[in-house]
Amino acid sequence: MSASPHSLPLELGAVGAASARVADYLREAILGGEIGPGDRIRQEDIAERFGTSRLPVREALRILEAEGLTEHEPNKGARVPKLTMHEVDVIYQMRERLEPLALTESLAHLSEQDLRRLDQVQSRIEANTDVNSFLALDREFHLLTYSGCHIDPLTSMVRRLWNSTQHYRRAFVSLGGPGRMWVINAEHRLVLDAIERLDPVDAERYLSGHIRRTRIELDRHPEVFEGRQR
């Protein structure tokens, strides 16, 4: 059930030794869709499955809470938060405003190798036909463009916004596909071109437009937020 290659570069949350492994496992399980919004997470279940005590699990849940992947109620345990359409809309507006800043901060620090990698990922997106792998590729593309940003609060917040909406992105993509792929590819290519020209103004312009268009398209599909999972 694990073994899903959601592993991305830039593992920033370098925390304790084994509690980080539990956090990694749970993170993959949530981002991979095995644990959905509303699902409860019992400490002892995870501890037993992992062969550890409940203590690392508790720490891991705190870490995930900081990343926006779980929510915590005293004496009630942890569960994956369920978001309304309006909440997801506002989160996309936050992305619209924050990610262009992260991109500008990242621009000057991107290496030649990063640019080549970005081009490869975008080419794979264009050649791709599977909706599920589009999810991972798109995520990799965007987070890679921010990998040159070394301002910790900014990168961690961007990551958190992606994490919080991952489930609804998958639901959206599964229900009719991500939309017209040529639009997405054109937007990505324009962002890439601006990055290569080291032009922060154009980079921010095309990136915010890309996110905004996605948000508006998402707003037209309320069924994404009513789907019963599991």
**List of residues contacting DNA (CB under 7 A):** 15-19, 40-44, 52-56, 58-59, 72, 74-78
β-bridge mates for residue 155, sequence order: none
Selection from DNA, its own copies, none that 62 binds (CB < 5 to 8 A by kind) is its own copies
- 58 binding its own copies? (CB under 8 A): yes
Q: What is the DSSP letter of 224?
A: G
Binding-site size, its own copies (CB under 8 A): 35
Rounded-to-integer distance, Cα 5 and Cα 2, Å: 9
- 72 binding its own copies? (CB under 8 A): yes
Rounded-to-integer distance, Cα 107 and Cα 105, Å: 6
β-bridge mates for residue 216, sequence order: none
Rounded-to-integer distance, Cα 223 and Cα 49, Å: 34
Rounded-to-integer distance, Cα 155 and Cα 128, Å: 28
Rounded-to-integer distance, Cα 78 and Cα 20, Å: 17
Selection from its own copies, DNA, none that 66 binds (CB < 5 to 8 A by kind) is its own copies
Q: Which is nearer to DNA, 71 or 187 (CB)?
A: 71
Q: Which is nearer to DNA, 81 or 209 (CB)?
A: 81
- 161 binding its own copies? (CB under 8 A): yes
- State the minimum distance, in angstroms, from the CB of residue 39 to DNA: 12
Selection from DNA, its own copies, none that 157 binds (CB < 5 to 8 A by kind) is its own copies
Contact letters for its own copies, residues 80-119 (x by CB under 8 A): -x----xx--xx-xx--xx--x---x--------------
Amino acid at 109: H
Taking the CA atoms of the chain, what radius of gyration do you get in angstroms? 18
